[in-house]
């Protein structure tokens, strides 16, 4: 492959090394998700545990369910989700809004549809051993407060990290970037990335060429795992718009033991978490009240 196929913008351009189609499956009550990360073909990508492209309509949803040991990022693409937890925190995030929830030592919450049609992305980010038992926390940013920029037919919304000189106000316990790109036909863009971070693309709609100019286009609902490097080049050579998220994170390089919504470092910690949840202790004290309603 000639050098002209690569972007001169980077010393070590990122290339697509794995491609997985996110197939539909049922989750929660009446919800359908396309699971991009967290399936047999791509169990996890340190520090990422799961990525779902979800769709849910009333009366379905995600009733009371617990979390421990990681963060969830819910980014609404259409409609809205009403959330409520056992500590009394509740609200609705709507199209373009983001909720960055640090479950830490324990959260039990519900996520229910707020409109007739609701879809979005939910990303699970692992926490290091030192942070797994921190106090839960929420960061919510409404759509109009999410930083954005545009140049040469390319628009980016900066959920976390930096792009086009624009920075997100979101604090990421595990260092993370989360960028939502929309590219017009004929446009191209070159995005810098921390070289050692694990990074992937999820194509929301359209089709694009990622990494090298002569590679095959990748279409909607595919997750593309990228090689390490200092940046990614993207071309939209199609006649339609392209929308994708570019997500990267600093690897934790720690053991991962997962039991459903509990993500810890050892089997013993998982067993302790199940006990804590069952007996409503060590972070789950309020759980008995929420579940009794």
Query: Is 67 annotated as belonging to a binding site?
Result: yes
Structural contact between residues 231 and 204, judged by C-beta atoms closer than 8 angstroms? no
Residue 187 neighbours by CB under 8 Å, 6+ apart: 152, 153, 154, 235, 236
Q: Does residue 18 contact residue 86 with C-beta atoms inside 8 Å?
A: no
Any idea of the CA torsion for 242, 157, 247, 6, to the nearest 10 degrees? 60
Distance of CA 14 to the CA centre of its chain: 20
Q: Do 104 and 137 touch, CB atoms closer than 8 A?
A: yes
> 167 labelled as ligand-binding?
no
Nearest Cα neighbor of 290 from 28, 106, 81, 85 is 85
In whole angstroms, how far apart are CA 23 and each of 26, 39, 76, 101, 230? 10, 9, 19, 25, 30
For tokens 């624009």, name the residue.
166
- Two tokens at 173? 């316990």
As a whole number of angstroms, the distance between CA 272 and CA 268 comes to 6
> What is the residue whose two structure tokens read 């997750």?
223
The total of other beta-carbon atoms located within 10 Å of residue 240's CB is 10
Q: Which residues is 78 bridged to in the sheet?
A: 119
Report the binding-site residues for Fe cation. 65, 67, 109, 111
Report the binding-site residues. 65, 67, 109, 111
């Amino acid at each position: 492959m000639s050098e002209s196929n690569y972007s001169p913008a980077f010393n070590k351009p990122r290339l697509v090394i794995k491609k997985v189609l996110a197939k539909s499956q049922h989750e929660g009550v009446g919800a359908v998700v396309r699971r991009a990360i967290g399936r047999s073909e791509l169990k996890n990508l340190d520090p990422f545990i799961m990525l779902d492209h979800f769709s849910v309509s009333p009366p379905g949803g995600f009733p009371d369910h617990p979390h421990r040991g990681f963060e969830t990022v819910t980014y609404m693409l259409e409609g809205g989700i009403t959330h409520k937890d056992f500590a009394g925190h509740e609200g609705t995030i709507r199209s373009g809004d983001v909720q960055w929830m640090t479950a830490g030592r324990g959260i039990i919450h519900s996520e229910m549809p707020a409109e007739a049609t609701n879809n979005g992305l939910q990303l699970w980010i692992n926490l290091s051993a030192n942070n797994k038992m921190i106090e839960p926390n929420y960061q919510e940013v409404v759509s109009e407060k999410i930083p954005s920029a545009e140049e040469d037919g390319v628009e980016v919304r900066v959920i976390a990290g930096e792009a086009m000189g624009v920075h997100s106000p979101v604090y990421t316990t595990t260092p993370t970037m989360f960028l939502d790109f929309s590219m017009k036909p004929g446009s191209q863009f070159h995005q810098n990335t921390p070289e050692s971070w694990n990074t992937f693309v999820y194509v929301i709609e359209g089709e694009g060429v990622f990494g090298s100019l002569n590679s095959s286009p990748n279409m909607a609902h595919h997750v593309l795992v990228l090689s390490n490097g200092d940046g990614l080049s993207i071309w939209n050579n199609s006649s339609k718009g392209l929308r994708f998220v570019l997500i990267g994170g600093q690897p934790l390089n720690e053991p991962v033991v997962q039991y459903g919504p509990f993500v810890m470092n050892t089997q013993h910690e998982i067993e302790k978490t199940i006990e804590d949840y069952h007996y409503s202790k060590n972070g789950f004290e309020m759980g008995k009240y929420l579940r009794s309603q």
